[in-house]
Amino acid sequence: MTDITLAPIQPDQPSHLMATYGRQAISFVRGRGAYLYTEDGTEYLDALTGIAVCGLGHAHPVIAEAIAEQAATLVHTSNLFEIPWQTAAAQKLAEVSGMEEIFFSNSGAESNEGAIKIARKFGTQQGVSSPKIIVAEQSFHGRTLATLSATGNKKVQDGFAPLTNDFIRVPFGDVEAIQEAALQHPDIVAILIEPIQGEGGINTAPQGFSYLEEVRNICNQHNWLMMLDEIQTGNGRTGKYFAYQHTNIVPDVLTTAKGLGNGFPVGAVMTQGKAVGLLGPGSHGSTYGGTVLGSRVVYTVIDTIQKENAVENAAVVGGYIVDQLRAQLADKNVQVRGFGMMIGIQLPKDCGELVAIARDQHKLIINVTAGSVVRLLPPINMTQAQADDLLERLIALINNYL
Ligand SMILES: *Cc1c(COP(=O)(O)O)cnc(C)c1O
């Protein structure tokens, strides 16, 4: 093992890191399941899991062993060769997603870039010279130039003009706005939406998941690709393997990342039906996409989610957390929303300061998004006892605050 010990970070110490993040002045040196630990051994309950990434919890022994064994065997050979673990990972992902073709990338944004390329290719094949994609207000699709252009958040786009002109924006959940856009823009070829908006504030459509069915119908009617961004909602997060499985529809294009690697950087863009075959030889690629190591991690994560019945657990324990929050906060002016282990508590006022209060006073790691929404993204395999622990800390936090 390494004999390097890092000095603790001093608050006034100059850093060479680009100042792109507003970081909390705390670091964790170790994790186990739903808990994180600082150097001095203080334990924190993690209801954020690295932003919906470590769905199986921290330092999962099966994943850790797979990484260690593969790292000591073979990490990377390139996509110039057959990679049996990549084929096996794709087989597993096809099984749980219902999709046909899979391309492995390294992040969420990169997966969405793949989806946008697929939509452009689809349009080009139909003689559309400047294909357009419908996206939603308050959406988040990533930080690359195309995905930030797709994102419905001015802060993400500010200063990065020119944006790509692929996108037409409609309110999330508004089906009539989509039909109106269809009348105005004959060059629309696809829709890209999140089943539940994560960064936007755990927003579900007013009509619930039937929004996805309505969007599917419109896509069929106009011969558009239905593309779902399940980078945050996928991999068991909402109590189904993918959130669209709360409905009877299947998208044409599906993207995921975050929980797919449990902390290892991987992503995927998947196709079925009329989207199959659009990206052929030479049309897309990635040096690191689907390395031997990354693919083995994906395979092992999916296999572990299946063996632990973690998706069912997310539905049951997540449902319990939502019910308890609604009951115990009934006298407060809050709205609890979400599915499975993707839960938002809409407070009546801006509450960004709750992140520090939760951390320092309740040893609880949470996130606040969209200004006034407490966002909970606990491990999908969280136990009932841990959920009670979470509820106790959270109810005390919110009761003290409101
Ligand atoms: C996190 C996220 C992304 C971007 O993923 P990165 O891995 O940060 O590029 C895109 N879409 C959604 C819905 C996300 O939650």
Confidence of residue 151 (pLDDT cuts 50, 70, 90): very high
Whether a cis peptide bond, with omega within 30° of 0, leads into 171 is no
Residue 105 Cβ < 6 Å to ligand 1:
no
From 54, 107, 258, mutation site for ligand 1 pocket: most ligand atoms within 8 A of C-beta: 258
- Interval 348-386: pLDDT, tens: 999 999 999 999 999 999 999 999 999 999 999 999 999
Task: Check pocket membership of 232 for ligand 1, CB cut-off 6 A.
Answer: yes
Reduce the DSSP state of residue 343 to 3 states and report it.
strand
Q: How far is CA 179 from the centre of its chain?
A: 28
pLDDT greater than 90 at residue 6: no
- Provide the annotated binding site: 108-109, 140, 143, 229-232, 286-287
Residue 226 · residue 252 · CB < 8 Å: yes
Ligand 1, from 140, 144, 156: best to mutate by most atoms within 8 Å of Cβ?
140
> Is ligand 1 within 6 A of the CB of residue 142?
yes
Q: How far apart are the first and last CA of the chain?
A: 48
> Residue 185 — pLDDT band, cuts 50, 70, 90?
very high
Is the pLDDT reported for residue 188 higher than 70? yes
Contact 213, 247 (CB under 8 A): yes
Per the DSSP assignment, residues forming a β-bridge with 368 are: 374
> Per-residue confidence at 9, pLDDT binned at 50, 70, 90?
confident
pLDDT tens across 16-74, in order?
999 999 999 999 999 999 999 999 999 999 999 999 999 999 999 999 999 999 999 99
Residue-averaged pLDDT of the chain: 97
Residue 7 is predicted with a pLDDT of 79
Share of the chain above pLDDT 90, in %: 96
Q: In the chain, what percentage of residues exceed pLDDT 70?
A: 99
Question: Residue 166: CB within 6 Å of ligand 1?
Answer: no
Encoding tokens for residue 39? 């150097």
Q: Is the pLDDT of residue 266 over 70?
A: yes
**Strands of the sheet with 267-271, listed across from one edge:** 101-105, 267-271, 253-256, 225-229, 188-193, 132-136, 167-170
Tell me the H-state helices in 49-153: 49-52, 61-71, 84-97, 108-125, 145-150
Q: What is the mean pLDDT of residues 125-153?
A: 97
pTM comes to 0.97
Quickly state the pLDDT bin for 1 (edges 50, 70, 90). Answer: low
Q: How far is the CA of 233 from the centre of ligand 1 (A)?
A: 10
pLDDT for the residue 282: 94
pLDDT of 15 reads 86
Amino acid at 390: L
Q: Above 90 in pLDDT, residue 5?
A: no
**What are the backbone dihedrals phi and psi of residue 195, each rounded to the nearest 5 degrees, phi first?**
-60, -40
Query: Within a 10 A sphere around the Cβ of 357, how many other Cβ atoms?
Result: 15
- What's the pLDDT at 323? 98
Radius of gyration of the chain (CA): 21
